[in-house]
Amino acid sequence: MLSSLKRTVRSSALLSRLALPLYAGYRTWMSARPLVGRIPRFNGDARLPVVKLTTLAEYQRWSQEQSSELQGRERAEQSLMPRQFGEFATEGYCALCERATVFNSSFDYAVKDRDSRAIPNLREHLVCVHCRLKNRVRAALQLFLQEFVPESGRPVYISEQLTRTYRWMRGRLHSVSGSEYLGDEIPLGASLRGIRNEDLGRLTWSDGAFDFMLSFDVLEHVPDAGACFREMCRCLGPGGRLLFTVPTNLDRHETTVRAVMEPDGTIKYLLEPEYHGGNLKDPSQGTLCFRYFGWDVLSHLREAGFARAEIWLYWSQYLGYMGGTQCVIAAYNN
Ligand SMILES: [Zn+2]
């Protein structure tokens, strides 16, 4: 219902022009309203097993050792696929909500398989009907809380502020700062109607301002990921931890560069331009994807100053974390 409304608005230039300022105002207003709840405990089946690896060779060895398990996962996912296009639901348990739930998915952003069949992009779906957070966001929040066990009150930064994810965090941890990139018309570090403007490559936070930094599917959209890694490392105190998600190609060592920004600011496309999601100024337009990360992201993190870095692998049908082997990237500042 909501997605068909969004599609109708996006398909009409006039409706989009009318709806945009309203929508922006609504999101700004909502961002100041935390979704209050307790920190989930992840006991028993709610605990997510995670495999922490550092190289492509380790991943290939792990994939071989786990081949029958991985085939089983593939079969499990196939059995959930609907026979026709449209929205579909799967049952499971939301570890964030700590209750049985239904995860909703659709064929929006579907990818084509080898036989040109549309495969739903489960990473961007499996939305819990209670918290209304999707697969990759729920998993990243669970892994952040489960693996890093942040004490309430420790300063956490998340590179978003107009989202449910930010509101969910604000409703549980007591020192969460968020921001959005609002463009260079507003000074960096300044706020517009309570929304702080930050550029991940030129952060205005002081050195060591945070114990934890989180970034969910942002770093593929910045022209210079290395500059962002250096800045995030600088803003983390001793023992600080960074956790982020990005589109990752686990079968490749090298990052696939899709586009680069020239020194004069023009964009050079090396592969067909790919746009994700909606951008802040105009949700009907996507944001350019500069790269798909490979395992070399871990050496780029170390070059940026992190002491070590890992890719964490996970998958769970019960917890609604599907779409093949899923991953987050963790970096440690000693
Ligand atoms: Zn939930």
Residue 42, Cβ neighbours under 10 Å: how many?
Answer: 18
State in Å: Cα 142 to ligand 1 middle. Answer: 11
Residue 4: pLDDT over 90: no
Comparing 125 with 82, the larger pLDDT belongs to: 125
Residue 113, Cβ neighbours under 10 Å: how many?
Answer: 9
Nearest-CA neighbor of 160 among 212, 214, 210? 214
What pLDDT score does 87 carry?
92
Show the tokens assigned to 305: 């100053």
Question: What pLDDT, in 10s, does the model give residues 17-42?
Answer: 777 778 888 889 899 899 999 999 99
State in Å: Cα 163 to ligand 1 middle. Answer: 15
Cα 133 → chain centroid: 11
State in Å: Cα 327 to ligand 1 middle. Answer: 19
Question: What pLDDT, in 10s, does the model give residues 142-185?
Answer: 999 999 999 988 999 999 999 999 999 999 998 999 999 999 89
What pLDDT score does 280 carry?
64
State in Å: Cα 99 to ligand 1 middle. Answer: 8
Direct distance between the N- and C-terminal alpha carbons of the chain, in angstroms, rounded to an integer: 48
Nearest-CA neighbor of 231 among 287, 194, 274, 179? 179
Show the tokens assigned to 36: 């209050």
Residue 219: pLDDT over 70: yes
**Helix, strand, or coil (residue 215):** strand
What is the residue extent of each domain of the chain?
Answer: 32-84+137-255+293-332
Average pLDDT of the residues of the chain: 92
What pLDDT score does 1 carry?
54
Residue 210: pLDDT over 60: yes
What pLDDT score does 115 carry?
83
Q: Which pTM value belongs to this model?
A: 0.92
What residues have a C-beta under 5 A from ligand 1, the ion? 94, 96-97, 128, 130-131
Show the tokens assigned to 247: 């589109």
What pLDDT score does 8 carry?
72
pLDDT band at residue 93 under the 50/70/90 scheme: very high
What pLDDT score does 277 carry?
76
Contacts of 208 (CB under 8 A, 6+ apart): 234, 235, 236, 237, 238, 240
Instruction: Tell me what percent of the residues of the chain surpass a pLDDT of 70.
Output: 95
Exposed / middle / buried, residue 121 (Cβ in 10 Å: 0-12, 13-18, 19+): middle
What pLDDT score does 59 carry?
98
218-227, 273-282, 301-310: segment of lowest average pLDDT: 273-282
Do the beta carbons of residue 205 and residue 240 sit within 8 Å? no
State in Å: Cα 277 to ligand 1 middle. Answer: 21
State in Å: Cα 86 to ligand 1 middle. Answer: 22
Question: How far is residue 320's CA from residue 103's CA, in Å, rounded to a whole number?
Answer: 7
Averaged pLDDT, 200-224:
96
State in Å: Cα 270 to ligand 1 middle. Answer: 39
What pLDDT score does 282 carry?
62
Question: What pLDDT, in 10s, does the model give residues 58-84?
Answer: 999 999 999 999 999 999 999 998 878
Show the tokens assigned to 109: 């952003």
| Residue 126, phi-psi category: left (phi > 0), alpha (psi -120 to 50), beta (remainder) | left
Helix (H) or strand (E) segment spanning residue 16: helix 13-31
What pLDDT score does 117 carry?
83
What pLDDT score does 88 carry?
94
Show the tokens assigned to 234: 């600088």
Question: How far is residue 51's CA from residue 16's CA, in Å, rounded to a whole number?
Answer: 44
What pLDDT score does 22 carry?
83
Nearest-CA neighbor of 23 among 188, 162, 197? 162
State in Å: Cα 21 to ligand 1 middle. Answer: 29
Nearest-CA neighbor of 118 among 138, 73, 88, 90? 88
Q: Does domain 32-84+137-255+293-332 have CATH number 3.40.50.1000?
A: no
Do the beta carbons of residue 232 and residue 298 sit within 8 Å? no
State in Å: Cα 42 to ligand 1 middle. Answer: 13
* Inter-helix orientation angle 2-11/13-31, to 10°: 130
What pLDDT score does 317 carry?
98
To 10 degrees, the CA torsion angle through 240, 52, 137, 277? 100
Averaged pLDDT, 288-316:
97
Residue 99 β-bridge partners:
94
**Helix, strand, or coil (residue 322):** strand
Contacts of 246 (CB under 8 A, 6+ apart): 217, 218, 219, 220, 292, 293, 297, 329
Show the tokens assigned to 226: 């290395």
State in Å: Cα 102 to ligand 1 middle. Answer: 9
